[in-house]
Structure formats: structure tokens, C-alpha cells
């Protein structure tokens, strides 16, 4: 497939109600926060995981759309598939000495794994498949306003063992905790490089699938912690050239988010409490803009 020919940037807005968008394991799974501003954070890794999950559902068993980085995947076994496909025997931690064969290993990984040709991967493990710098990168998402994490007590009526049941003398309730934020609207920025896409084969078909994943991935990611998480806006900037026609930060500055009511006293609790505006007059020549959501 032919690689994309244009550079892109995008602004992505999503929100959550009474849930935990991205728990921090080093803080008891509390929602991630910027300690100086109390604004919520969601890591790029978290968002990429949801994109991978969407693609694995939408393109299950489709050739060229396998997922490299998945739960319980043995990465050396993933790399070994490339060696088997081109009839080579791997050497411990080494790529083939011939540049053509080494490139063939890495190219096979790009052609067969969607997330390798999209996000890149460091595949220099025991079975060495090289290193790929992906054309699609995302920044951390940050909430528009400060968020207040709440610790909610919960109970479980059942116990795990008979010993626990006897110790509780008929009261089988087990106490636990859930961490949520009442509401948060998050903004993330992303980048798609046409020049890096040339190296991995990231195509227009891949790009359209990526947009669909951003729009729909939360619909297939429901859980007790993320029951009401939704994509709200996807604004895409397309450059006329592969190298780009304007700095990314100028394009991001054209998207402004403000309270729907000036000087509103109540804390925001829905997406309707915000207005999102796009200053099209500020978009430089050579760049077009689309709102996909």
C-alpha cells in the first residue's frame, strides 16, 4: 500500500463522568494529576492501548492488521514470525548481517502489525527485529479544568474463603475503594508524519482506520471504572505537503475551549458546559481543517 503523502496534526477531546480515565499504579490507582494545577492527565500509552484494542476488534484476523503489543504477547515469538516468513534463522540479539535481509525482517513487521507501522516499536530483544520510528505520535491528554479525585467506599457481600466467612461472624461484607472524578473534559494533541510513514508503509487506509479508532474506541472500552467515557471532538489539520506548511503549535492555538457561560460558578459536569471554537481565519495557507467529530 502507498504511504500517506501529507502531514497531519489533530486535536482530540474526550470526557469522563464518574469514572477513572487513567489510574496511576504508583498512587493506589488514583486518577493521574498534574500536582501543580490539579488538572487531570491521561498518558499517550493509555490512548494508544485503546486504539490497539479497537483495531483488534474491527480487523480481527484481517491480514496486515495484527497487533504487536498486546496482553501476554511474547515479543520474541512475534519477531520470530518475521524470520520464519522469510526463511531465516535468528541469531541471539543480532539482526542479519546483510542489510537487505535485516531490512526485510523489519519491513515484514511493519507490513503485518498495524501498531508497528503506526506507532513504531523497539524490537531489539533476544530475537532482534530492528527498531521502527512510527509516523503517529500522541501527547499526554490534559483536562481543561482542575479535577477533584474522590475515594468511594464500596462493599462486597461475598468472601473468598470459608475462613474469611467464619472470621466475619455472619457479616460477609468486604470493604474496598474506588477512585473517580465526577467529570473531566480532556484535550490531547497528535501528529502524523508523512515522511516517517514512507518508512513504515502507513497508508491512507491505515489513517482512516486510525480516525475511526479515535471516534469509536470508548464504545468498546466500557468497564466499572470507565462506563461513561466518550469522544467529543476530533479536529484534523491537513498540510498540502509531506513536510508540512505551518508549525503544529500555531494550528493547535486555533482551537479554543471556554466555559459555555461566562464566569460560571458551578463546576463543569457535562460537555455542554463548554464551548469549542475553531478560528479558521488563523489557519495558515497550505493547511486545511476538518472536523471529523
Q: What is the pLDDT of residues 95-124, one digit of tens each?
A: 999 999 999 999 999 999 999 999 999 999
The per-residue pLDDT for range 133-149, each reduced to its tens digit, is 999 999 999 999 999 99
DSSP per-residue codes, 102-171 = HHHHHHHHHHHBHHHHHHEEEEESSBEEEEEE-SEEEPPEEEEEE---EEEEEEES--SSHHHHHHTTT-
User: How confident is the model at residue 264, as a pLDDT?
Assistant: 61
The per-residue pLDDT for range 190-225, each reduced to its tens digit, is 999 999 999 999 999 999 999 999 999 999 999 888
Distance CA(47)–CA(32), nearest Å, equals: 14
**Stretch 160-164: mean pLDDT, rounded?**
73
For the question of whether the overall pTM of this predicted structure is more than 0.85, the answer is: yes
**Stretch 252-264: mean pLDDT, rounded?**
86
User: How confident is the model at residue 174, as a pLDDT?
Assistant: 64
Which residues lie below 8 Å from residue 143, measured CB to CB, with a gap of 6+?
A: 39, 40, 41, 184, 185, 186, 187
The runs of H, that is alpha helices, within the chain are 44-58, 75-85, 99-112, 114-119, 162-167, 194-200, 204-216, 248-253
**Stretch 224-247: mean pLDDT, rounded?**
95
CB 207 within 8 A of CB 192: yes
Task: Output 110 or 175, whichever has higher pLDDT.
Answer: 110
Exposure on the CB side of residue 49, measured as CA atoms within 13 A = 10
Q: Give percent of the chain above pLDDT 90.
A: 78
Distance CA(179)–CA(50), nearest Å, equals: 20
Amino acid at each position: 500500500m502507498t504511504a500517506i503523502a501529507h502531514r497531519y496534526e489533530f486535536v482530540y477531546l474526550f470526557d469522563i463522568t464518574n469514572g477513572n480515565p487513567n489510574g496511576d499504579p504508583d498512587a493506589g490507582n488514583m486518577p493521574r494529576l498534574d500536582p501543580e494545577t490539579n488538572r487531570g492527565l491521561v498518558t499517550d500509552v493509555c490512548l494508544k492501548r485503546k486504539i490497539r484494542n479497537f483495531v483488534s476488534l474491527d480487523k480481527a484476523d484481517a491480514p496486515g492488521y495484527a497487533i504487536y503489543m498486546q496482553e501476554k504477547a511474547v515479543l520474541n515469538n512475534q519477531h520470530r514470525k518475521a524470520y520464519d516468513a522469510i526463511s531465516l534463522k535468528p541469531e541471539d540479539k543480532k539482526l542479519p548481517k546483510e542489510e537487505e535481509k535485516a531490512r526485510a525482517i523489519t519491513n515484514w513487521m511493519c507490513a503485518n502489525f498495524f501498531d508497528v507501522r503506526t506507532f513504531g516499536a523497539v524490537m531489539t530483544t533476544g530475537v532482534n527485529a530492528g527498531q521502527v520510528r512510527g509516523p503517529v505520535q500522541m501527547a499526554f491528554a490534559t483536562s481543561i479544568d482542575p479535577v477533584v479525585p474522590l475515594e468511594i467506599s464500596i462493599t462486597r457481600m461475598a468472601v473468598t474463603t470459608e475462613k474469611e466467612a467464619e472470621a466475619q461472624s455472619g457479616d460477609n461484607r468486604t470493604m474496598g475503594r474506588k477512585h473517580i472524578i465526577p467529570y473531566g473534559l480532556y484535550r490531547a494533541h497528535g501528529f502524523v508524519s508523512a515522511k516517517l510513514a514512507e518508512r513504515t508503509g502507513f497508508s491512507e487506509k491505515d489513517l482512516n482506520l486510525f480516525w475511526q479508532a479515535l471516534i469509536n474506541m470508548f464504545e468498546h472500552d466500557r468497564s466499572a471504572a470507565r462506563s461513561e467515557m466518550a469522544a467529543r471532538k476530533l479536529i484534523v489539520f491537513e498540510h498540502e505537503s509531506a513536510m508540512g506548511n505551518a508549525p503544529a503549535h500555531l494550528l493547535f492555538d486555533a482551537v479554543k475551549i471556554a466555559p459555555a457561560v461566562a464566569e460560571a460558578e458551578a463546576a463543569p459536569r457535562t460537555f455542554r458546559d463548554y464551548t469549542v471554537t475553531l478560528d479558521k481565519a488563523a489557519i495558515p495557507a497550505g493547511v486545511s481543517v476538518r472536523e471529523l467529530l
